[in-house]
Amino acid sequence: MKLYDYPASANCFKVRLLLALLDRPYERVPVDIFAGESSTAAYLAKNPAGRTPLVELPSGETVAESNAILLYLGEGTRFVPEGLEERARVWAWLFFEQNLFEPNVGTARFWRLTGRDAGRHEEWESRRLAGIGALEALERGLTGREWLVGDAPTVADIALYAYAHVAHEAGIEMAPYGSVAGWLARVQAEPGFVNDLVSYPAGARAGSASGSVHDRAS
């Protein structure tokens, strides 16, 4: 199995984290999205959305979108429950993550760390504020609970962990979120946990060759 991967993307990190927790081998194929490698004709044939992460199976079949990959690789393991109602709660958190959490927390962080917030403070601030709303929802979901769904970690926890553990880098004060803090520590204590998320390289900065077209490559 190949993982097309951008090392500084937390969407990619979440897949690497699940693979580490499952102790599953894979070949990592670096994709320099800021050099246009995710928008070549060959790459778009693998994933019409032109994004990482992407999993390619020995059959040549591909699976796109980070949380779809988590569900696919997690199927039949302890990280995806069997019952339909529990699965539905996992799905709900995964969609929340991609619709409210990553576009706001992830984008505000990406813009700030790569200089894309300069010259558009209001737009950045609206993402940051929506990110705070997403953290408040996550805090409510974790209050009185150890894990998001059921009594054990699932792919929902792995997906939300990816951007929640770096939300402070989006300019968000984390002190109000005590249930989130305890849960972050529980994820980090899982056997096999690794954190190999790297910093954005110089080529990802605003004003570098690929410029501002990559507003959402978080």
- What type of residue is 206? A
Q: Determine if 71 is a binding residue for its own copies (CB under 8 A).
A: yes
Q: Determine if 130 is a binding residue for its own copies (CB under 8 A).
A: yes
List Cα–Cα distances, 150 to 7, 89, 100, 155, 176, in angstroms.
31, 9, 22, 12, 24
Contacts 24+ apart (CB under 8 A), 71-78: 71/155, 73/15, 73/18, 73/19, 73/22, 73/24, 74/18, 74/22, 74/154, 74/155, 77/22, 78/152
> Binding string, 94-123, against its own copies, x = CB under 8 A?
xxx-xxx-xx----------------x-xx
Where b means 16+ CB within 10 Å and e means fewer, 33-55 reads bbeebbeeeebeebbeebbbbbb
> Binding string, 133-152, against its own copies, x = CB under 8 A?
----xx-xx-----------
Stretch touching its own copies by CB under 8 A, among 1-9, 19-27, 82-90, 178-186: 82-90
Q: Of 129 and 198, which CB lies nearer to its own copies in the complex structure?
A: 129
Residue showing tokens 């150890």 = 146
By DSSP bridging, strand 62-64 and strand 2-5 are: unpaired
Please report how close the Cβ of residue 95 comes to its own copies at its closest, in angstroms.
Answer: 4
Q: Of 83 and 191, which CB lies nearer to its own copies in the complex structure?
A: 83
Stretch touching its own copies by CB under 8 A, among 93-101, 172-180, 185-193, 196-204: 93-101
Q: Are 77 and 18 in contact (CB under 8 A)?
A: no
Q: Determine if 92 is a binding residue for its own copies (CB under 8 A).
A: yes
Q: Using CB under 8 A, which of 52, 66, 114, 154 touches its own copies?
A: 66
Two tokens, residue 203 = 């080529």
Nearest to 52 by CA among 30, 72, 74: 30
Please report how close the Cβ of residue 21 comes to its own copies at its closest, in angstroms.
Answer: 19
The phi, psi pair for 27, rounded to 5°, reads -100, 125
Please report how close the Cβ of residue 54 comes to its own copies at its closest, in angstroms.
Answer: 9
Please report how close the Cβ of residue 191 comes to its own copies at its closest, in angstroms.
Answer: 26
Q: Are 128 and 170 in contact (CB under 8 A)?
A: yes
Q: Using CB under 8 A, which of 126, 196, 199, 203 touches its own copies?
A: 126
Q: Which residues bind its own copies (CB under 8 A)?
A: 44, 48-50, 61, 63-69, 71-72, 75, 84-85, 87-89, 91-92, 94-96, 98-100, 102-103, 120, 122-123, 126, 130, 137-138, 140-141, 215-216
